[in-house]
Chains A and B, each alone.
Chain A
């Protein structure tokens, strides 16, 4: 929490890692995003909250390349970017844990961690025969899980479908943390989890911040948001209603802004 104190006062003078300006996204006649701007600064957890249909998911999809905004600009570390597909965001160091987790149930933990960017064996075996370095991937997967303090998942050869909800979430978060060099985005990471598993995921979020990785956290769960977030971006009717901090506003205030009963 000392982190928050040191970051908060000079937040505005720092250059944001991720900056979005006036994002607009429509689906036919439905306006998903109506000119939304967002800044993410180094070493902070930014929560995005809002009622159903307020545009949280659309905003996140536009930031991570899963949807292409109709207009608006995106900057990563000051450089303007445009994402056409999730891969583009990933190349810029933005990793996302989607609500539906995007894990492949029949594949094992290690294969899932490296899905889409598998390691190949060194030398001719890898370059000519395209042989996968399964052993290397398993070793690195174990290391990454240990580094994140995920102790419940030591057997990386288990198919993901045999894991509990919290363990699957851990796999997805570990994948994002392992490859996300600049930003990790978590969409409703605790929605399907029990109390103990939720706390583990929140701890993972804090650990990511400790390592200097900024996190965008989308959640419905106010206690979780107020527990880990440094700043809170409130979406309402496709627009950003306010950006607050847990210090400046209470949970009741946040809900009031979210529902339109109050303004910041």
Chain B
């Protein structure tokens, strides 16, 4: 690479040789600069390559039914990862998103089935429950100044316990619930593809959050707070208000996700979805959002969730044991964070 460049232009002098060592002058450096500027670029490349590879390995992979199945499989983790992205952008982390979501879904299902509350009311109370889990996290982070990791590690256990206490460990079947609660699991055809309403809700949420993060002052403040809290405060940004609203927003998103989870699994189970706490972080990290805050995008997270979905689906179609899927996801995380570290060094 270096050879080509120095030999290339006829006017190359001694001075250019020195500049070769400057990061942005090399091809690799240019790639790094581009990845630094557009954080969603590297997960996009990974997704395209993995789709092609799995397509070559098994011709069933690229069939429309399979691809639409992947989107449905991804819808729950993809949605909850939006909440995770918001929190991680502020240099926090939320270990309790999955637990909060399951609590909200149990409230929805139990109220409707065991207490006989109308579907709409059960849904609304469930959504408020999800919002409350975010509010509690936000309150502890902003008022008690506790690190988000500790707060959400605590609330993770609290929400899990509350879920089991409230539901007595019993699963509620989707067939017993009002149609509104399982509406998100309904599929409808677009041409030859079957799309679930849950996937549409997920995409709508992505569009909404991408707009808010990218085009409003609040979005910019979220990045600024994650980037450098003290600088944001001195620039006149109400840091605690921003943080509180981020956790509230995350609570609202995971509340909607609870609804998607009921539709997707056609049930509400207190033992489901605990993996989602970590799976959501996986999607965010593979999507190129920095765990140090202030850098990343919600589209990267969608790509990250899709990558995990594609790997799991593709490896299982290739006939590999489920353990290899987990192994592959583990390697992906480490590679993604290494790439992130390398990209962050790209400063001129």
Instruction: Give residues in A with beta carbon < 8 Å to B.
Output: 66, 86-87, 90, 96, 98, 100-107, 111-112, 115-118, 120, 129-132, 134, 159, 161-162
For the complex, give the distance between the alpha carbons of A226 and B220 in Å. 40
Name the contact of A86 in the complex, choosing from B215, B227, B233, B348 (C-beta under 8 A).
Answer: B233
- Contact (Cβ within 8 A) B230 A100: yes
Q: Which residues of B contact A134 (CB under 8 A)?
A: 215
Interface bits B257-297 vs A (CB < 8 Å: 1, else 0): 00000000000000000000000000000000000001100
Q: How far is the CB of A110 from chain B (nearest CB, A)?
A: 11
- Contact (Cβ within 8 A) B217 A132: yes
For the complex, give the distance between the alpha carbons of A103 and B294 in Å. 13
Q: How far is the CB of A98 from chain B (nearest CB, A)?
A: 5
For the complex, give the distance between the alpha carbons of A87 and B233 in Å. 9
Name the contact of B236 in the complex, choosing from A101, A105, A116, A129 (C-beta under 8 A).
Answer: A116
Q: Which residues of A contact B224 (CB under 8 A)?
A: 104, 107, 115
Q: Which residues of B contact A96 (CB under 8 A)?
A: 234
Q: Does B247 contact A (CB under 8 A)?
A: no
Q: How far is the CB of B191 from chain A (nearest CB, A)?
A: 32
Interface bits B199-213 vs A (CB < 8 Å: 1, else 0): 000000000000100
Name the contact of B234 in the complex, choosing from A102, A120, A129, A159 (C-beta under 8 A).
Answer: A102
Name the contact of A117 in the complex, choosing from B230, B232, B236 (C-beta under 8 A).
Answer: B236
- Contact (Cβ within 8 A) A115 B235: yes
Considering the complex, give the chain A residue whose CB is closest to the CB of B234: A102
Q: Which residue of B224, B232, B348 has the most chain A CB atoms within 10 A of its CB atom?
A: B224
Q: Which residues of B contact A105 (CB under 8 A)?
A: 227-228, 294
Q: Which residues of B contact A101 (CB under 8 A)?
A: 231
Q: Which residues of B contact A106 (CB under 8 A)?
A: 223, 227, 294-295
- Contact (Cβ within 8 A) A100 B347: no
For the complex, give the distance between the alpha carbons of A120 and B215 in Å. 9
Considering the complex, give the chain A residue whose CB is closest to the CB of B33: A162
Q: Does B237 contact A (CB under 8 A)?
A: yes
Name the contact of A66 in the complex, choosing from B211, B231, B234, B294 (C-beta under 8 A).
Answer: B234
Contact residues, B314-348 vs A (CB, 8 A): 347-348
Q: Which residues of A contact B211 (CB under 8 A)?
A: 129
Q: Which residues of B contact A90 (CB under 8 A)?
A: 236
Q: How far is the CB of B142 from chain A (nearest CB, A)?
A: 15
Q: Which residues of A contact B238 (CB under 8 A)?
A: 87
Name the contact of A130 in the complex, choosing from B216, B232, B235 (C-beta under 8 A).
Answer: B216
Q: How far is the CB of A178 from chain B (nearest CB, A)?
A: 13
Contact residues, B221-252 vs A (CB, 8 A): 221, 223-224, 227-228, 230-238
Q: Does B139 contact A (CB under 8 A)?
A: no
- Contact (Cβ within 8 A) B235 A104: yes
Considering the complex, give the chain A residue whose CB is closest to the CB of B296: A106
Name the contact of A131 in the complex, choosing from B216, B228, B235 (C-beta under 8 A).
Answer: B216
Q: How far is the CB of A106 from chain B (nearest CB, A)?
A: 5
For the complex, give the distance between the alpha carbons of A4 and B218 in Å. 44
For the complex, give the distance between the alpha carbons of A217 and B295 in Å. 34
For the complex, give the distance between the alpha carbons of A107 and B221 in Å. 10
Contact residues, B177-218 vs A (CB, 8 A): 211, 215-218
- Contact (Cβ within 8 A) B215 A116: no
Q: Which residues of B contact A132 (CB under 8 A)?
A: 215-217, 220
Name the contact of B215 in the complex, choosing from A98, A104, A131 (C-beta under 8 A).
Answer: A131
For the complex, give the distance between the alpha carbons of A2 and B285 in Å. 60
Q: Which residues of A contact B215 (CB under 8 A)?
A: 129-132, 134
Q: Which residues of A contact B217 (CB under 8 A)?
A: 118, 120, 130, 132
For the complex, give the distance between the alpha carbons of A88 and B300 in Å. 38
Known contacts A120-B217, A130-B218, A104 near B294 by CB under 8 Å: yes
Q: How far is the CB of B224 from chain A (nearest CB, A)?
A: 4
Given contacts A102-B230, A118-B217, A131-B215, 18 further A-B contacts (CB under 8 A): A96-B234, A98-B234, A100-B231, A102-B232, A104-B224, A104-B228, A104-B294, A105-B228, A105-B294, A106-B223, A106-B227, A115-B235, A115-B236, A115-B237, A116-B221, A129-B211, A132-B216, A162-B348
Q: Which residues of A contact B348 (CB under 8 A)?
A: 162
Q: Which residues of B contact A104 (CB under 8 A)?
A: 223-224, 227-228, 231-232, 235, 294
For the complex, give the distance between the alpha carbons of A159 and B33 in Å. 12
